[in-house]
Amino acid sequence: MVKEIERVGIPVVHVCTVTPISMTVGANRIVPAIAIPHPLGDPALSHEEEKALRRRIVETALKALSTEVTDQTIFEVK
Amino acid sequence: MKLEVGYIDIRDICFADSSRLEDGVLYLDKNALSEIVLEDKNISKVEFEIAKPGDSIRITPVKDVIEPRVKVEGPGGIFPGVISKVTTVGSGKTHVLRGSAIVTTGKIVGFQEGIIDMSGPGADYTPFSKTLNLVVNMTPVEGLAQHEHEHANRMAGLRIAAYVGELGKNAVPDETRVYETPSIKEGLEKYPDLPRVAYIEMLQSQGLMHDTYVYGVDAKRTLSTIITPTELMDGAIISGNCVSACDKNTTYHHLNNPVVHDLLEKHGKELNFVGIIITNENVYLADKERSSDWTAKLAEFLSLDGAIISQEGFGNPDTDLIMNCKKVEAKGIPTCIITDEYAGRDGSSQSLADADASATAVVTGGNANELITLPKLDKVIGDLSVVDRIAGGFNGNMAEDGSITVELQAITGATNEMGFNKLSAR
């Protein structure tokens, strides 16, 4: 899906847990997610901590989307 | 570590007033069996059935398959850390009730459970159509949470297997074999010119009822470690899996791991089988990285000349497989991986979710997406109504004539990634 959307000229950020697969299939902007059963959250955290984590993931993804890349790039969530 | 395994060939199983093993015939007392299962208050009802090769019987949804064994001499007991105390096993003497199996079924636990047909075309795709099966059909109490249901079924199957195995304690084996793993130093001295080969066994540990237990420890909470072949034969590793039936390793597979047995067969002749590295398949990327790093580190530490890696399951574990492969290869140690394929029903799609140029030697258990139609059989043990929901089934797969169409994925052991099954291409 990532590649098909990019093919029509829209940049895509792939937020995913298993980044090596994302690299193998050829995504250009990759943001590591938390875990396969809960990519965008972490049930081990409190609600407040989890909300902050979610925001960081989304902000990283938005930053990745607006960053020019020349090669496949992984944007680590800070 | 040295283990003597006495194989007692089971010729028949039947129900009787008292449980015993006589002349290769297992007589089983249903009341005693029921008591063992129902000591868990989470199980409200249990029924026992016998399914023999050639019977017109379909067992589904199958949870686990277990071979009855008993420790006759030496430290520890069967299924250490789970049924017996946690004492290290793998030495002394063990009896195996060869040709028999315990199959657990009942109300479905998770959607990824299997089918065993005892006859017809489906029987060719599962090794458990060739065993004399005691089927344990369990109903949980109302409202039991899924993970508690899985635990109840898993433990009941193991308790029954231990009870049946115990009946063979004083029997005279039909065949006795001795399996031995030398220490690192002994191996080097004894076989200085033979290539040092290890088996890297990947254990399903994705959680959410995709779990394997090592001496009772949940494998997702383990670091990659070393285990000896004979410990596996005493049940050190058991399945707690509700993962796709075709390529999950049941407890029976762990007890009879064909990679282990084939390597032991060649040990001291063509190669020096150094031991087994077990490593998990977790759902966090950091865990995947750490476990595969440790696998490669242990492979290097053991001064291997080669390694065979087997996977369990598919999808994201393909990444663990490839990470293990490429990291071990990067240490200069050639590998061969054993996997299976999800290449689409026509076989034309990409077989694995991940790949790497260093994965040059691959053995496949077959294409799990291949469709097969299973004709109606006279008797169903378990619950046929869920076969459109198990992995490999699909909506509308039950025809009016009673036949069902499924992907091989739904058949227990069909594309096993230890190479336990016999699917081959011409």
For chain A, what are the domain ranges? 2-74
In A, which residues are within 8 Å of B208 by CB distance? Answer: 37
Among B220, B287, B314, B319, the strongest candidate for a mutation testing the A interface, having the largest count of A CBs within 10 A, is B319
The answer to whether B221 faces chain A, any CB pair under 8 Å, is no
- The residue in chain B having the minimum alpha-carbon distance to the alpha carbon of residue A24 is B354
Count up the domains in chain B and report the number. 1
Let me know if residue B38 belongs to a domain.
Answer: yes
pLDDT of B203-255, one tens digit each? 999 988 899 999 999 999 999 999 999 999 999 999 998 889 999 999 999 99
Let me know if residue B141 belongs to a domain.
Answer: yes
In A, which residues are within 8 Å of B288 by CB distance? Answer: 18
Alpha-carbon distance of B209 to B218, in angstroms, equals 11
Task: Convert B188-205 to b/e letters by CB count within 10 Å (16 or more is b).
Answer: eeebeebebbbbbbbbbb
pLDDT of A26-78, one tens digit each? 999 999 999 999 999 999 999 999 999 999 999 999 999 999 999 999 999 98
Token readout for B373 is 């139609």
Let me know if residue B424 belongs to a domain.
Answer: no
pLDDT of B95-151, one tens digit each? 999 999 999 998 877 767 899 999 999 999 999 999 999 999 999 999 999 999 999
- What's residue B6's pLDDT? 98
Of B246, B250, B248, B299, nearest in space to B275 by CA:
B299
The answer to whether A36 faces chain B, any CB pair under 8 Å, is yes
Let me know if residue B186 belongs to a domain.
Answer: yes
Let me know if residue B425 belongs to a domain.
Answer: no
The answer to whether A20 faces chain B, any CB pair under 8 Å, is yes
pLDDT at B424 over 80: no
Question: Is A37 within 8 Å of B207 when comparing Cβ atoms?
Answer: yes
Among A22, A31, A36, A42, the strongest candidate for a mutation testing the B interface, having the largest count of B CBs within 10 A, is A36
The answer to whether B319 faces chain A, any CB pair under 8 Å, is yes
Q: How far is B185 from chain A (nearest CA, A)?
A: 38
As beta bridge partners, residue B257 has none
The position carrying tokens 């490669």 is: B296
Question: Is B283 within 8 Å of A37 when comparing Cβ atoms?
Answer: yes
Strands of the sheet with B272-281, listed across from one edge: B225-227, B272-281, B196-204, B306-310, B335-341, B362-367
Mean pLDDT of all residues belonging to chain B = 96
Let me know if residue B426 belongs to a domain.
Answer: no
Token readout for B18 is 């008292």
The answer to whether B178 faces chain A, any CB pair under 8 Å, is no
Question: Is A18 within 8 Å of B208 when comparing Cβ atoms?
Answer: no
Among B316, B324, B351, the strongest candidate for a mutation testing the A interface, having the largest count of A CBs within 10 A, is B316
Domain carrying residue B59: 2-410
- What's residue B426's pLDDT? 64
Let me know if residue B209 belongs to a domain.
Answer: yes
pTM recorded for the entire structure: 0.95
Q: What is the DSSP code (8-state) at residue B417?
A: T
Q: From the list B207, B208, B319, which residue is nearest A18 (CB)?
A: B319
Query: Helices marked H in B207-357 — which ranges?
Result: 229-233, 251-255, 258-266, 285-301, 317-330
Mean predicted confidence (pLDDT) in B185-197: 97
The backbone torsions φ and ψ at residue B110, rounded to the nearest 5 degrees and listed phi first, read -125, 165
Question: Is B319 within 8 Å of A35 when comparing Cβ atoms?
Answer: no
Confidence of residue B36 (pLDDT cuts 50, 70, 90): very high
Residues of B carrying an active site annotation:
242
Let me know if residue B418 belongs to a domain.
Answer: no
Of B277, B77, B86, B264, nearest in space to B163 by CA:
B77
In A, which residues are within 8 Å of B280 by CB distance? Answer: none
| ipTM exceeds 0.90 | no
pLDDT at B338 over 90: yes
Question: Is A17 within 8 Å of B283 when comparing Cβ atoms?
Answer: yes
In A, which residues are within 8 Å of B283 by CB distance? Answer: 17, 35-37
Q: From the list B208, B285, B355, which residue is nearest A18 (CB)?
A: B285
Of B20, B28, B31, nearest in space to B167 by CA:
B20
The answer to whether B285 faces chain A, any CB pair under 8 Å, is yes
Q: From the list A20, A32, A36, which residue is nearest B283 (CB)?
A: A36
Mean predicted confidence (pLDDT) in B7-11: 98
